[in-house]
A and B are shown apart, each in its own frame.
Chain A
Amino acid sequence: MIDLSIKKILDIDLEKQEAEAKSFTDLNSYFGGTGLGLRLLEMYSDKNPIIISVGPLNGFFPFTSKASIVLIDEGAVEDIYLGGSLSTRIKFAGLDSIVIHGVAKEKTVIEIQNSAAFLREESTDVWSLGLPGKRTIMEFDGKKVISDQYFTTPENYLEKKFIEKNIKGISITGTEIYSPKNFDDYENLYEEILSRKNELGVEPGGYPSCSGCPMGCGKSKIGEIGGNILLNSLVACQYADKIYTDIGTVFSCLNSLGYGYTHEDIENLPALVEKTIRKI
């Protein structure tokens, strides 16, 4: 069962070939996504990490289907966003962030199953790992890191890190579930937000869609870069900004799931994240 009262981080050390799930109660004020990712970047700043994070609404509400990736490229902090099924799989793995650090001696395939990770040799077919229908496959084809055979990120920050760290691919499977206490309230809010799809900045299309988003818009193929701190910490789609920059809506969503955040916590997030960036 997914535990919303903590932040659960999967720490993968490629150098030592070890992985460990760690739980934190003191990171909740960073919400998730880029807020949490930047705080972890501060904690792991000497380890040149790739930090992949989801937000508190991923997997639960529509139009919150991106995963945040935070890293340092040539001395600059970069935040990029990847669509597809990655965010729901990380959420249903019961994780908030995956921190990959160190350099593998040989090309490595990473297999994540809920809060456990296994490092496989280069010859492993990444498609042989994980549970179909509950997994995301990320593959590096030498040019781009491609998730779900379709989704990528802007620029080449992630690709440079895959090369530096000798990562060939990642399989992530999530089999955890969650049942909000006030399920009817949650479901009503879900349906209300889904009915607001005409407020999105994209038109519906027939392209492969992110998990939990009915739009099939085509713009999510290349992901996103930078943007609004609240949206990026929830890891909502930038085209859903009219919905998820509204503090009342965000509070209602969080409250319906059983998070203990207050309006003030949401309002204070941008300042907290900016302070963290200054420290990095």
Chain B
Amino acid sequence: MLKSNSGESTNVVGKMVKRVDALEKVNGCARFAADIAFDGQIYCALVIAEKPHGILRSIDVSLASKMEGVEAVFTWRDIPGDNQLGEAIKDMPCLVKEGEKIRYWGDVVAVVAARDRISAENAAKSVRLDIEDLEPVLSIEEALEDRIKIHGGSNVKVTKLIRKGDPETVIKNSKEVFEGEFYAHYQEQAYMEPQGITVVPDLDYGYTVYGTMQCPYYVQSAVAHVLGLPMNRIRVIQTETGGAFGGKEDVPSYVASYAAVAAFNLKRPARLIYSREIDIQTTSKRHPIKSFYRVAMDGKKIKAIEVMAYMDMGAYATLTPIVMFRTLVHAAGAYDIENVNVDVYGVYTNKVPPGAFRGFGSPQVLFAVESMIDDIAWKLRIDPMELREENTLRPGSRTSTDHLIVESVGAPETLARVKESSHWKDLVKECIEFNRANEDKKRGAGLSHIFYGVSLGAGGQALDKSGAHVLINRDGSVEVRIGGTEMGQGAKTVIAMMAAEELGQRMERILVHQPDTAFVPDSGPTVASRTTIYSGNAVRRACITLKGKLISVFYDLFNSRPDKVKFCQGEVSDGEGRAISFDRLVDAAYVRNVKLFEAGWYDTPKLSFDMENGLGEAYVTYSYASQVVQVEVDMATGSTKVLKGFTAHDVGKAVNPDGVIGQIQGGFAQGMGYALYEDLKLRNGKIISDNFNTYIIPTIHEVPPELVIDIVEDAFSEGPYGAKGIGEPSLMPVPASVANAVSMAIGKRVRQIPVTPEYVLGLIEKKTD
């Protein structure tokens, strides 16, 4: 199942291991955000606007302040620092001021602090807001009219472009031109643990922030900004994090800011744990994207592609300008195409601001481009597999941004793997035969093929570094601190594996701590499938230095040649009979006063990129995936079931194969939810599907019993042991493979996700495609 060209021999890396945090998660000891408590803590609740658009005329807290158990109600006046928030553009108030605009249902106006959660929530409902209604802008189309301007200027806030070759002329002169319009709806991250933060006045005359999050350094900087304090007064410690998927990238900065206002003013620990409803109503989602494609073909070759994509960025920019870069680069797909134009527009509306979600602006356009390619294949009567094989990226290809890629391009291999594992041609034939014999149920096989730019890329180079701190205690136990967070994806396990590999210590003697900004400098965000590479390389570097020192001690003890000394699983030897345990060697180093702690640092290889034309090295490397699914559609109800899945991923190197498989299985289910079930419903800008009874995520019933996984290892020379990323690429091929399978089943092109039963029934009834 594993195909590798890395060739390095390893003791721990690449082996099957158990998660380092599994015991505490199964025995109930793991402490999530709501599981920690502090003496004298107060509970916070948010007062939200509950109007999509308007002007806040007044805030009346008189009733709420007098309620049983209420300590205080805080508004913008109580913010000691700057009231503006936002990672990319500071266009979002922390707490909306009187006289200023309400721009979406979940705008936060006040924070109630009370003795217990129920009192806080009851009081929050009793704060009276006088809001003068303005007509809301509730769709991309309305926003583009610019009749109502949400922030004063045009609603089109950000634009990004690729201009490669001359697609216009090629399309004009081409006989085979295809067009398509696609829409991908919101998706809610639906991490099982809701947002939660506690801000505690601490021993260093500052504030320590505890909570569920992906990006402690974002939180540190936001809280310092809102409290008007230098960053050295704000310490952030991540609690166990119950899933994130991008939903805890920037949002915890806002949650922490609200709690910090209460902690600052009351000088008491302030705790803010979201209910599921507040979480879904007010926090980020995957962006809705409407896209338009034009493709010119010459035989089986894609000659030119033009893409226009409009992203609904809601009331505030938050992360959208960063998300858009990924949308831009991935919009033309995993293909070598000479002529590419991509335009991506970020548009303000009076709705929840979307942000980061596994795939970060790429699954929407990958769904679109892969539907487009599939449509072309069926229309030209070319096998969709063959069309991809013909156009895919290979070593020596150029991506849509004209990035010449020479190594670690496992794209063709992933296609070959799924072709084989799914028995592609037979599977298609089987569906056709099934459909001939059945009227009420129809089956389809769908293929998708994607690439994924690893880490932050040219748009995020300034953030793309990571630190680590490794300390060996006198007993030989090892403490590792990184800036990257564990949110369920397995970061701690992969880091412990790499430390064990490099140091030669046994894995159970290594502890990877919860991230703490007091110990490791700003390591950028834990996003973009970057932790294995960035934190991993930083840890490796620190460990290599430490090992060098231990080799010197070994020499001092035994006079062995340093190049002969081997470390393996807690034993150190020179191959000529001289040996000592790792722990005793460390003890010998301690009595020699050897410094056994080291900082490691890894910063990204520099990328050359022309932002104006969207051309150049967009990302340090790319992961690739191909996927086949078989679905069955009930023609009477329009509901779809995924019967089988086959997926192949080029991850460079599976440092922790068990973890990689876990990511792929989980990403598949989440992608299936996006493709078929998860339908966020809004009414006048309010999200009404705000809990799991109305926002339906896949249960154990929906996952197919068969998901065949192939891991391709086409090594990336900068990655630890050749590794690239897998967190996001696990989800990215799913919407397209499912949509393409449904299209085959019903004989009509699916053009939007989620592919709800109502939508399928509508397509079936349509006379033409």
B is a partner of A? no
Q: Which residues of A are at the interface with B, using a C-beta cutoff of 8 A?
A: none
Q: Which residues of B are at the interface with A, using a C-beta cutoff of 8 A?
A: none
